[in-house]
Structure 1
Amino acid sequence: MVNYIKESYSELKNHVTWPTWAEAQKLMVIVAVFSVVLALLTFGVDKVFSRVIEFYFEWIKS
């Protein structure tokens, strides 16, 4: 287990190319915008299906 941790640390330190701070900020903004859009899309689909089901049950009651 100790060897695994040492090798993992070495791999992260020596072989991984980390983004610059500016690039990381730009990517974070992209992820945040995409997350908000996806949340709004999910909310919209949920509202539409909710209304359809509500209409269906009102129609069946009549």
Structure 2
Amino acid sequence: MQKLTLFIKDSWSEMRYKVTWPTYSKLQNSSILVLVASLIFAILIGIIDLAFENAMEWFYNAF
């Protein structure tokens, strides 16, 4: 039990004094970057899915 308590205290101390937290503007910029990248990736996957669906439909209708 003593090891667990020490671990929690050390973790709390490290999170409070050793971790560098981003400023609000950096956090906003990073969030916008992730949002845009996610949207681009989703559109790309949607286009690939649409192309694959059309290719499979053509293939099944051909036979």
Same topology, TM > 0.5: yes
- Count of aligned pairs between the two proteins: 60
Does 1:41 find its partner at 2:44?
yes
User: TM-score, normalising length from structure 1?
Assistant: 0.89
Which consecutive residues of structure 2, in runs of 5 or more, have no partner in the other structure?
A: none
Measured in 1, the distance between the counterparts of 2:6 and 2:17 equals 16
Q: Which runs of 4+ in 1 moved over 4 A?
A: none
Measured in 2, the distance between the counterparts of 1:2 and 1:56 equals 63
1:4 corresponds to:
7
How far off is 1:5 after superposition?
Answer: 1.8
State, as a whole percentage, how many aligned pairs show the same letter. Answer: 32
CA RMSD between the two structures: 0.9
Which consecutive residues of structure 1, in runs of 5 or more, have no partner in the other structure?
A: none
CA deviations on 1:7-55 (whole Å, 9 max, x unpaired) are: 1111111111111001100110000000111111111100000000010
